Amino acid sequence: MLREHNRAVGLIPDKDTFKNSLATLPLVTYQPGETVIADGSRTGRLLILGKGTVAIVKEDTEIAKVAEPGAVFGELSVLLDQPHTADVRALETSQFYIADALRFSRKIRPRYFMLRRRWPTGSTARITLLFN
């Protein structure tokens, strides 16, 4: 249902189109233990996991592990114009596509808030749904 909705509102036409668009983005590699995003920082970047595994850490407590290619990091900071609210640390060699946050914000922000009203699930889950 959500995938059909995404196509209807023009978010991501299909998975292949999304993957092809990733190929045009810069790719950055982080080694195990490296901080990808620091809590309280403002990177102005949107990171999309290409491969690897990362931990989401808040106040020295690991709250999640993410290994799903296409997972998006930094979106709430961009959408809400706020600092990042947790650390993201590489658990193994991890590659991220780096997207232009300003372009993302202009294109996705209006749709994000519409989705937030319709599907009040976890924020990262909402954004990941945009790309699946």
Check which CATH number belongs to the domain holding 76 and give it: 2.60.120.10
pLDDT tens, position by position, for the chain (132 residues)? 444 444 434 445 566 776 777 778 899 999 999 999 999 999 888 898 999 999 999 999 999 999 998 888 988 887 778 899 999 999 999 999 998 776 665 655 555 555 555 544 444 444 444 444
Tens of pLDDT, residue by residue over 5-27, are 444 344 455 667 767 777 788 99
Amino acid residing at 18? F
pLDDT of residue 46: 86
Domain range for 56 is 2-130
pTM, entire model: 0.70
Report DSSP letters for 15-38, one per residue.
HHHHHHHHTTS-EEEE-TT-EEE-
> Domains in the chain: how many in total?
1
